[in-house]
Amino acid sequence: MRGLISLTSIHKADSAQRIIEGIASAPTIDRMGDIVEPMGARFKLPLPLLWQHDHSAPIGNVEHARATKEGITFRARIATISTPGKLKDRVDEAWDSIASGLVRATSVGFMALKSEPLPNGGRRFVEWAWHELSCVTIPACEEATLAVAKHYDEQARRLRYANTRVVRLGDSDLRAAGLPPRPGIVRVG
């Protein structure tokens, strides 16, 4: 099996559900001189979502993928584990690394079914079996970065702050609360 690290632009990261969305593969030349054609992908969902191409380190599943000539869009969910232990630590590390921008790339793990040579010595993978998607630190394809947008959808935001009031406190209010006299904004509710 071969791994192509493709730049992925995550358009959305939903912290509550640990959902990431973006582009899993694009038809550009990677650092190895190869092109993996998005329309050539053969796959069945759900696909495993792995941590750093380690087959013994799954972190979730790719729930949706759609191939177009411009690339493969995907939606994946990183698991939420409540039981303390190695599995919880791994998936929490993966989520925190992605959400903080420390891990910003994905890589498709695949097996070539049909390919042709490129003039640069690389290969154009015209048809390929997509086996897994990995969140990785170092991409082979320079466009394969994850741009994690830390935001919730509008409905989740409204629900989260539905009972919140913003109050501006003056020096006397802060002194009465035992705080240093500096005006500030405090969220109450």
pLDDT tens-digit readout, 8-17: 445 555 667 8
For residues 73 and 138, state if they share a domain. Answer: yes
Placement of tokens 């969305």 in the chain: 21
How does pLDDT run across 68-99, given as a tens digit for each residue? 998 998 999 999 999 999 999 999 999 999 98
Range of the domain at 184: 153-189
For residues 15 and 53, state if they share a domain. Answer: yes
Of 72, 70, 43, which Cα lies nearest the Cα of 132?
A: 43
Q: Give the chain's length.
A: 189
Helix, strand, or coil (residue 48) = strand
User: And the tokens for 114?
Assistant: 């049909």
Q: Considering just the CA atoms, what is the radius of gyration of the chain in Å?
A: 22
Side chain identity at residue 59, one-letter code: I
For residues 73 and 162, state if they share a domain. Answer: no
For residues 24 and 112, state if they share a domain. Answer: yes
For residues 86 and 19, state if they share a domain. Answer: yes
- pTM comes to 0.72
Side chain identity at residue 86, one-letter code: K
